[in-house]
């Protein structure tokens, strides 16, 4: 009977030691998944913004589309050079443990603008 009680105590101690590692691993996996989804959203927002720029949409409409797809916390930069326009979208990663690190993600897309004088 002593042997069974000792074994149960050993298992409890092993779980108590391993549990923080498992929680940390789960947090890292969830953080990586969140980073991947955020990056995909930023890339889609940049592509959609570049498509609108190519159609000659005004800067306000381009920014509204980017904010709708990337979220209101995103930052948008529109640049134009030599007939090409670039939409760059960036955002801070919103993961509780990684907020302390300050991990910023960004994506950009370019499009040829055939219409001159898009207003930006």
Q: Copy the structure tokens of residue 104.
A: 């910023």
Q: Average pLDDT of the chain?
A: 84
Count CA within 13 A, CB hemisphere, residue 86: 10
> What is the percentage of the chain residues whose pLDDT exceeds 90?
45
- Assign 67 a pLDDT band (cuts: 50, 70, 90): very high
CATH 3.30.1300 fits 2-112, yes or no: yes
What does the pLDDT read at residue 61? 95
Residue 108 pLDDT more than 90?
yes
Q: Using one digit for the tens of pLDDT, what is the confidence trace for 7-32?
A: 666 777 788 888 998 988 888 888 88
- Beta-strand (E) ranges in the chain? 75-81, 84-92, 104-112
What does the pLDDT read at residue 34? 87
Contact 58, 119 (CB under 8 A): yes
Domain boundaries, the chain: 2-112
């Amino acid at each position: 009977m002593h042997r069974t009680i000792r074994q149960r105590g050993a298992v409890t101690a092993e779980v108590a030691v391993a549990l923080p590692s498992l929680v940390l691993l789960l947090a890292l996996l969830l953080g990586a998944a969140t980073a991947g989804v955020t990056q995909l959203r930023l890339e889609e927002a940049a592509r959609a913004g570049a498509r609108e720029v190519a159609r000659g949409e005004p800067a306000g409409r381009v920014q509204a589309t980017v904010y709708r797809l990337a979220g209101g916390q995103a930052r948008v930069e529109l640049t134009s050079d030599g007939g090409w326009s670039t939409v760059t979208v960036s955002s801070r990663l919103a993961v509780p443990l990684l907020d302390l690190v300050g991990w910023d993600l960004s994506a950009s897309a370019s499009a040829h603008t055939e219409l001159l004088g898009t207003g930006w």
